[in-house]
Structure 1
Amino acid sequence: MISTHYIPPQPAPPAVRAKWKGKRIAGVTVLSLWILGAIGLAAFLIASWDPELVRRYGPNYLSGLWITVQLVVLSALAGAVLSVPIAVGRNSHNRIAQALSYGYVYFFRGTPLLAQTFLIYYGLGSFRPQFEAVGLWWFFRDAWYCALLAFTLNTSAYQAEILRGAIAAVPRGQWEAAAALGLPRSLTIRKIILPQAMIVALRPYVNEIILLLKGSAIVAIITVFDLMGETRRAYARTFDFQTYIWAALIYLSLVELLRMSTEKIEARLTRHLKRS
């Protein structure tokens, strides 16, 4: 016979209560420091606000921001296209295709993006006669195109692993159910597997784009006047440290915009799961 007597919850041991109290104090302390830092930064920006500086360099910041957005968006899209055959090669039963895809991913994920950018911008410049002979020197002599190529190759390796992992996360039963219905493999992938994989891959994809956005600041080193390039030029002319603070706030705003957009897209894609 099952007892129906109510058993009141037992209080936590003193050691556990002390641990929880310590964590709450630490959390409140860290939050307070963040708030004080934000207030201090806001006070500094208000006190050092220079309308002339904004009027003079504001248009340059907007121009650099546009170059940054172009570079990130185009490289992310091109990398997404290139990641598909790489992910297919990683899952292929062909050993040659598997080895080539693995080597590609291993190299571009295992070396710094800055080194890859230098390798393309400075290294391939050594082959100017060969590129001129085939009519490609116009591409490799431009720092922006070299940065675009480096970013595309780098992000395609990461996106290939994200795509491969997302497809692997789809339950095997989905493949078996589609096969039982007699659906072609191409239709199975397009209508059943990829929609589910995209839900799994959404946040990793956006995290990769955020890393790409923050990493794009390195192109200022190879004379591309993106947002960071214009910031460096403004600081070189004014020696005003707030030029870097404004650049940091712009990058932070872009990251926050991506984060909020991701939450809305994810809520839209998973609305059927919440209803069930």
Structure 2
Amino acid sequence: MSQADVRRRVSSRFLTSELRLIAVRRRNQVGLAALAAVPVVLAVAMKVASPEGPPDRGDGPNFFSQILGNGFFVALAALGVELTLFLPIAVSMLAGDAVAGEANQGTLRYLLTVPVGRTRLLAVKYAGIVMGAFVAPLTVAVSGLVVGLLLFGGGDVTTLSGTQIGFGTAVLRLLLICLYLGVCLSALGAIGLFLSTLTEQPMGATIALAMLTVTSWILGQIPQLDWLHPYLLTRHWTDFGELLRDPVSPGGLTPGLLSAGAYIVVFLSAAWARFAGRDVTS
């Protein structure tokens, strides 16, 4: 292998260019703005609503009921709301456009003749998806935390175990929640990358991935399909609540991380197998 080949292999120019393209693309900026706007709308609605807040229906951690006492919970409530639809759609847009977008614009063949190997191309595209998967929940959390503190103030946070932790510790827990959700959404992105290698229409891959996510949520609510629940993509996404217990039990997060890891390995392998043998005509 020549010295030039070695430099090309280790060069981060392609990755840097891809990340910059994702960051400056207008639709991605608008998408992040929309994600950040949801906590603002939520906090304002809670501020002007009845002081009693929404009733506790007993169907899981009711972060809404605690917002009025501590603005920290705006971030958690917003993450819970957006996790079912808005966050998956944001990742679906990135993943669906990864390969299919290049094919649709006629630039895929050009990229492969630069030269950029197919494996390297997939790796860089997935790195961009992963970046989006981590930035999206972090954007929601930061927006919710800021607007929550402005409207409701802060202070010690009551955990799901009934104990109290300091605000700084709670913010660290919030960061860990964003990291956990980033891993979960990266698994969704791996499926999207595979779908993106199957078509030249990015919108088709995006819609298919979004529908798959919604279907997973719906199937998870049907008791008669409890045999299927452990294998659903979204099965463990709401396990982030384990990070709000005192003490935190790592075992509560392990199933979600293992599930996400399995999805990532399987669908990245499928994407590579599909793309490696695909005839690129555009």
TM over 0.5: no
- Greater helix proportion: 1
The higher radius of gyration belongs to 1
